[in-house]
Amino acid sequence: EGGDGFGLFFSILNAFAEKPYPPRVIACTHFSCARYLSETPESAHIAFKKMECFIEHSGQKPGASNLDDQGNGAQIIYLYRLVAGISDNSLGLFCARLAGLAETILRRGDEVKTWGGG
């Protein structure tokens, strides 16, 4: 997952971190495999942060799909707080529903995401 692009992203971060006086860098990525960066050797020059949000569920059914979790009856509350960690969910399906994409497209996106392991 990520291929060349993720390799380049990771290499650039390492190159910055290894400098005697590393620059301050804020790096944002859509690579879901970035969560594995936290398993790399610790560096005093790299900190992983994410924006905190809360998903409020109303009427969540056991075994519901990710799409149900981010759609019908779910409400996202943005807390606008930077916290330690790496995000494990882009909330893409939730955002797509808010943008008005057709339910058939959302369902297919959920199938592909589930099949792809993300």
CA gap 68, 111 in Å, rounded = 12
b/e per residue, 9-25, with b = 16+ CB within 10 A?
A: bbeebeebeeeeeeeee
pLDDT at 58 over 80: no
Average pLDDT value for the chain: 77
Q: What is the pTM of this model?
A: 0.62
55 pLDDT tier (thresholds 50, 70, 90):
confident
pLDDT of residue 90: 78
49 forms beta bridges with: 84
Helices (H), the chain: 3-17, 66-69, 92-98, 103-115
Q: What does the alpha-carbon distance between residue 39 and residue 20 come to, in Å, rounded to a whole number?
A: 23
